[in-house]
Chains A and B, each alone.
Chain A
Amino acid sequence: MIDFVQNTVDGIMFGSSYALLAIGFTIVFGVMRRLNLAFGATIMLGAYAGTWLHVHYQVNVLVIALTTLACTVLAGIYVERLCFRAVRRDAALASMVSSFVIWMQLEEVAVHLLPERTYPFPSLFVAGSFEIGPFLFRAEQITMLLLAVVMVGALHLLLHRTRYGLALRAMSENPQAAGYMGIHTEWVMLCAFALVSLVGGVAGYAILATDEQITPYFGLWATFKGLIAMMLGGMGSLPGAIVGGLVLGMVEAHSQWYLGNEYKDLSAYVLLFAMLVLRPGGFMGQRILSREELAFRRV
């Protein structure tokens, strides 16, 4: 029983980092209805830029954090310009493949920047752990969970209480109509990408500061974990991103404990596949429209 609870606690701790990544993903999908495969790679490039500063010039952690965020946002804007703005609006597929090749490109740029396998990443938080009863908690992971909740709250306010949020939601409904209403769609898109990259940069920094190291696999890892957590929670749902992240973390922690290390990823994919087949909207997502409704809408 103690094992079970401790595993759940660990799972929630890991899950909070997945939730942070899923938040970034869910905004991209929810608002733009396009798949940005380069999301993990932009975070990775930003983090590599920060690590590069850390390795070559022993600067303040705050400078490193700001560099990470700034470079992530710049990389995000680069992706938006090249893969989304420039590609015709009806060619969603081209955008996706384009963002994939840019993922590979950014990853190679990052590896040229720092060619070794692993690098230390500076920790911003006060590391440490404390015990409540028989259970062990890590301080930096609780910080991460709080960070996720605060970010979802802030984004919710941004989306539902500001003019910018209104414009963004209008665009997700119908970009063309939003344009007719006088919304500067290109500018809103660009800001949305910068915003998402900022969220991703914060998430990436928090995760890497907890791990205290960075490897070239971070881009792939971030993309996959964020994607799975988002799909589990439901596409486009902000609270769903947190729920999905936590569920993913718990499933991984339990399967690692009870089944073994090699089944950790497998059980996550089995869960995702089962979820998509049985309940494709995820825990908190919208119901998928049936064909009849789609046909009706068109008429």
Chain B
Amino acid sequence: MDGYVITVLSNIGMISFIALSAYLLLVTGEISFGQQAYFGLGAYAAGAATAMFGLPIWAGILIGVGAAALVAMVVGALTLRLGGLYFSISTLAFAEMVRLILLTAEVQVEVDGEMVGPDGANGFHDIRWMFERDISLAEFMLIIYCLLALVLIVLALVERSRLGSVFRMLGSDDLLAEMQGINTVRYRILAAGMAGGIAGIGGSLYAHFTTYVEPQFFNVMLGVHALAYGLIGGLGTAFGPLIGVAIDIGFLEAVRFIQGYRMIVFGGLVAVLLIFMPRGILDEDRVHRLKGWFSRRRHAGTRGN
């Protein structure tokens, strides 16, 4: 594989984390315009851990995830009781606050005679973990996809558990869920924390892959794209958002002749898609039918033997 393909695939992998993060909230019925804030916080926290304090990358990622999840839960506790559009706008306000604070933040320490750390609008340069350890892009891509697989497994386990049912219940009718004796606010905060943590993983990886991050990357466009990916791919399964990301980044990168008209084509396609499939390609009904089809086939196979 050449560098270009690896970069595109790695980008798909890293953006998938924020798409999954927005997806998890969509499943619980909340629309967040602000998941890019946790992606950014994860990137800055993990970058600071490895570049400024010389910690190993697994500690950096843990710190990134922890910071993002913690902030997401605090913000969730403040805003989730609002519900609906009020929550969406407050996530937008919070994410822009984070971005604008990072634009002014200058916290630098001296490492090996050089100043390292967030430098306001210039961004956070020299997150050189990959170069110092002599790790190739392909190897890093492997790390990205291993973590992505891990997140998908966790989400699949959640989906099968009671927690998953509660999340889906909150999404379809939270009033009914509350009448069943479910503490909806607590579960929503939990979902917000998990979503923040997932976005934080993506951010931690992104900081180390590109070796530098700037606040401008975590603008609202990233957050709304993340939201759109879930809705394009489908809200029925965690693979939905991945399909959305692959369609946007993979397909449109590959088709060169629509360059420059990319958003005109993509926008039109998605708008038409949403008319016929308002909850995405793999929505709940289709996932349910696919599962039924697979399990019938399996049973037919065992009987045949």
Please report A residues at the B interface, Cβ cutoff 8 Å: 29, 35, 37, 82-83, 86-88, 90-91, 93-98, 100-102, 104-105, 107-109, 112, 227-228, 231, 235, 262-263, 265-266, 269-270, 272-273, 276-277, 280, 288, 291, 294-295, 298
Residues in B neighbouring A107, C-beta threshold 8 A: 263
Contact of A98 among B89, B97, B262, B270 (CB under 8 A): B270
Contact of A83 among B78, B263, B271 (CB under 8 A): B271
**B279 and A94 within 8 A (CB):** yes
Residues in B neighbouring A98, C-beta threshold 8 A: 270-271, 274-275
**A102 and B271 within 8 A (CB):** yes
Q: What's the least CB distance linking A245 to chain B, in Å?
A: 16
Q: What's the least CB distance linking A281 to chain B, in Å?
A: 9
Report the Cα distance A61→B40, complex, angstroms.
45
Of B13-21, B100-108, B192-200, B286-294, which binds chain A?
B100-108
**B79 and A93 within 8 A (CB):** no
With CB as the reference atom, state the residue of chain B lying closest to A297: B175
Residues in A neighbouring B79, C-beta threshold 8 A: 276-277
**A235 and B85 within 8 A (CB):** yes
Contact of A105 among B89, B96, B263 (CB under 8 A): B263
Report the Cα distance A263→B101, complex, angstroms.
9
* A88-B278 contact in complex given A266-B97, A295-B175, C-beta closer than 8 Å: yes
Report the Cα distance A88→B274, complex, angstroms.
9
Of B111-119, B138-146, B223-231, which binds chain A?
B223-231
Contact of A104 among B88, B104, B263 (CB under 8 A): B263
Tally of A-B Cβ pairs under 8 angstroms: 117
**B86 and A101 within 8 A (CB):** no
Residues in A neighbouring B231, C-beta threshold 8 A: 93-94, 97
With CB as the reference atom, state the residue of chain A lying closest to B86: A280
B26 within 8 A of A: yes
Q: How large is the interface on B (under 10, 10 to 19, 20 to 34, 35 or more residues)?
A: 35 or more
Q: What's the least CB distance linking A264 to chain B, in Å?
A: 9
Max chain B CB contacts within 10 Å: which of A82, A112, A269? A269
Residues in B neighbouring A270, C-beta threshold 8 A: 97
Residues in A neighbouring B156, C-beta threshold 8 A: none
Residues in B neighbouring A97, C-beta threshold 8 A: 227-228, 231-232, 270, 274
**A273 and B270 within 8 A (CB):** no
B266 within 8 A of A: yes
**A273 and B93 within 8 A (CB):** yes
* A276-B89 contact in complex given A269-B96, A269-B100, A298-B175, C-beta closer than 8 Å: yes
Residues in B neighbouring A231, C-beta threshold 8 A: 86, 89
Report the Cα distance A239→B97, complex, angstroms.
27
**A272 and B278 within 8 A (CB):** no
Contact of B228 among A100, A265, A269, A277 (CB under 8 A): A100
Q: List 13 A-B contacts (CB under 8 A).
A: A96-B31, A97-B227, A97-B270, A98-B275, A100-B224, A101-B271, A231-B86, A231-B89, A262-B104, A266-B104, A276-B79, A277-B79, A291-B175
Apart from A112-B261, A266-B97, 19 more pairs, CB < 8 Å = A83-B271, A83-B274, A91-B278, A93-B26, A93-B231, A96-B31, A98-B270, A98-B274, A100-B224, A100-B227, A104-B266, A105-B264, A107-B263, A108-B263, A231-B89, A262-B100, A262-B103, A269-B94, A276-B86
**B93 and A101 within 8 A (CB):** no
Mask: chain B, 177-210; 1 = CB below 8 Å from A; 0 = not: 0110000000000000000000000000000000
Report the Cα distance A108→B263, complex, angstroms.
7
**B100 and A266 within 8 A (CB):** yes
Report the Cα distance A96→B270, complex, angstroms.
12
**B97 and A273 within 8 A (CB):** yes
Report the Cα distance A197→B264, complex, angstroms.
21
Report the Cα distance A297→B97, complex, angstroms.
37
Q: What's the least CB distance linking B145 to chain A, in Å?
A: 27
With CB as the reference atom, state the residue of chain B lying closest to A298: B175
**A277 and B97 within 8 A (CB):** no
Contact of A276 among B90, B101, B270 (CB under 8 A): B90
**A94 and B78 within 8 A (CB):** no
B267 within 8 A of A: yes
Q: What's the least CB distance linking A107 to chain B, in Å?
A: 7
Report the Cα distance A107→B232, complex, angstroms.
20
Contact of B93 among A87, A272, A295 (CB under 8 A): A272
Residues in B neighbouring A273, C-beta threshold 8 A: 90, 93-94, 97
B3 within 8 A of A: no
Mask: chain B, 15-33; 1 = CB below 8 Å from A; 0 = not: 0000000000010000100
Q: What's the least CB distance linking B233 to chain A, in Å?
A: 12
Q: What's the least CB distance linking A37 to chain B, in Å?
A: 8
Contact of B82 among A82, A266, A280, A295 (CB under 8 A): A280
Q: What's the least CB distance linking B243 to chain A, in Å?
A: 15
B residues 245-271 with Cβ under 8 Å of A?
260-264, 266-268, 270-271
Residues in B neighbouring A291, C-beta threshold 8 A: 175, 178
